[in-house]
Chains A and B, each alone.
Chain A
Amino acid sequence: MRNVVPVLTVLAIIVGVWWAAVAPMNMRAALDVAERAGDTVVPEGSVQRRDISVLTLMANNAQHIASGYSLKRPRLPTPTQVGAELWKTTGAMVMRGRAFSKRSLIYHGWITLQSTLWGFLLGTTLGILGAVAIVYSRVANMSLMPWAVISQTIPIVALAPMIIVLSNQLGIQERIVPKAIIAAYLCYFPVLVSMVKGLRSPAASELDLLKTYSAGGLQSFFKLRLPASVPFLFTSLKVGIAAALVGTIVGELPTGAISGLGARILIGDQFGTPLAIWAALFAAAILAGVLVTLLDVVQRITLFKMGFRS
């Protein structure tokens, strides 16, 4: 219970700053709406207001500040507006039995989740295999590692359309494949780096001990290096799954995808419905939070069962 107060304090500060920012962010739009409705606005005409600072506008039109909190198409929606939109596209759809309608974020979240999990699986596998190769082979260490580092310096937004076009060229029709590949591309790196560290974590004396038993390479891998790397693995899995989700969403942005949280963000942008963008953003954040929390629970249980003192 000791942690509740600081956690709630931080949350309150974030929401407070957000709430306070809504007024200046939406002031111009609120004045435009008020002017169109025939109210008095100082000065008149949005072109005249363009060069006047937001704070001056707020001071001169204090009576219109409140309407910035209930715009239909706000530049920055309020927390309650985002919450309401989220509920409308998730909980409310479930209540009406339409959880998997194309307007439901649960449907779009599910599409995104599938690619994320496939990408996570692929990326984690590649990361672990790469780490094993790097730890056991000097050649792999010198040839693989630099490419792994370089791969992460290429902006994924530049690479994503190429992967989608390429997989189309290869005759892969399912959208999930290129998305999973992009997710894996972002996800494998933290797993690779952590596992290299984890597999190398046994001390020289621990390896010497196995040598005194005349243990073989496979035995020292499965009995020492692999179990010793488990705490490192879990830490990287949590980073990896969040990266996989980001990769999937980036993969959904280009080339006219219509399903998935990324597509919702893009469509919301194109159709000028900021509430839809914000709801999709929050849905993505919540999804990431749930995935990371689940992995955290698995980590705690596994490490406890393995006898690591947490």
Chain B
Amino acid sequence: MSVPVVQAQGLSLTFQTNDGPVHALSDVSLDINKGDFVSFIGPSGCGKTTFLRVVADLEAPTGGTVTVNGLSPQEARLNRAYGYVFQAAGLYPWRTIGGNIRLPLEIMGYSKAEREARVTRTLELVDLQGFEKKFPWQLSGGMQQRASIARALAFDADILLMDEPFGALDEIVRDHLNEQLLSLWAKTGKTIAFVTHSIPEAVFLSTKIVVMSPRPGRVTDVIDSPLPADRSLEIRDTPEFLDIAHRVREGLRAGHSYD
């Protein structure tokens, strides 16, 4: 048994605001193993995004420990251990799609030939061949988000942190991208941490579902999915799928206090 890719122990994060302290994360302990597809689901304010940001060293925890590849989040970030996909595609409007994917490669000092090869390869991976010279505004929202995934895949990070990447897209586009993401995951063998508030999306994609609840943000249930790794959209009508979805819903309900 190898060391988990992400290991959190009693992780807490409290923001000091003018209205008093906000407990974004409270005593979160969690392992993410290599090759896992872990979804974080819960209502707004449950700390799922905060957890991802702590792993990415974009926030500092106020209590507990977390390691990424056995290192501190900061060391992992400096080692370029992960690619981060934000909710908004966030492509630079003055760069073409190819130019946007080239951005991390330029910053990390890849050679020109290497950059070109990687741009071509990642564009193929997200099915955007032929769009290299287009500007972001010439692409649909779903295509822009795919380009931003390509940007996170362009360098050799083993971990992909995705913060509600499909949250702003319509359901048809989202289904399509979910399928593509699964095949991409199968092809690349990356470890993926995925934040969402859609139950079907979480169940369909994940090998492990982390259900969280707000005030304070904590983990209420961790479900290891029995679904096979190789799945298609039809799996959503099977009893196994509906069972897990039911358990997620129960977890969400249990964690949610209607006060």
Contacts and interface: CB of A to CB of B under 8 A. Distances in A.
Nearest to A208: B58
Interface stretch (B9-17, B39-47, B84-92): B84-92
Interface in B75-128: 77-78, 80, 82-84, 86-88, 90, 92-96, 103-104, 106-108
Interface string A223-236: 11001101000000
Report, as a range, how many residues of chain A touch the other chain. Answer: 20 to 34
A205 B135 contact: no
A230 B94 CA distance: 10
A218 to B, nearest CB: 10
Contact of B86 (A209, A213, A227, A228): A209
B94 A212 contact: no
B77 A214 contact: yes
Chain B contact residues: helix, strand, loop or mixed: loop
Nearest to B161: A212
A203 B89 CA distance: 12
Contacts of A211: 57-58, 77
A213 B80 contact: yes
B56 interface: yes
A18 interface: no
Given A307-B96, A307-B135, A215 B107 contact: yes
Contacts of A227: 92, 94
A214 to B, nearest CB: 5
A223 B90 contact: no
B147 to A, nearest CB: 13
B82 A212 contact: yes
Interface residues of B, number: 26
B199 to A, nearest CB: 26
Interface in B120-176: 135-137
Given A205-B86, A212-B77, A308 B93 contact: yes
Contact of B92 (A208, A219, A224): A224
Contacts of A213: 80, 103-104, 107-108
A294 B95 CA distance: 25
A306 B92 CA distance: 10
B107 A219 contact: yes
Interface in A139-188: none
Contacts of A309: 93, 135, 137
Interface string A190-213: 000000000000010110111111
Contacts of A203: 90
A55 B10 CA distance: 90
A212 B80 CA distance: 7
A212 B83 CA distance: 7
Contacts of A308: 93-94
A209 B84 contact: yes
Nearest to B94: A306
A2 to B, nearest CB: 25
Given A214-B77, A219-B107, A307-B135, A209 B94 contact: no
Contacts of B108: 213
Interface string B229-243: 000000000000000
Contacts of B86: 205, 208-209
A208 B80 CA distance: 14
A155 to B, nearest CB: 40
A219 B109 CA distance: 11
B93 A223 contact: no
Nearest to A307: B135
Given A208-B84, A213-B80, 10 more contacts: A205-B86, A206-B92, A211-B58, A212-B58, A212-B82, A212-B83, A219-B107, A223-B106, A223-B107, A307-B96
Interface of A: 203, 205-206, 208-215, 219, 223-224, 227-228, 230, 306-309
Q: Pick the 4 closest A-B CB pairs, nearest first.
A: A307-B135, A306-B94, A212-B84, A215-B107
19 contacts: A203-B90, A206-B92, A208-B86, A209-B86, A210-B107, A211-B77, A212-B77, A213-B103, A213-B104, A213-B108, A214-B78, A219-B107, A223-B106, A224-B92, A227-B94, A228-B92, A306-B94, A307-B93, A309-B135
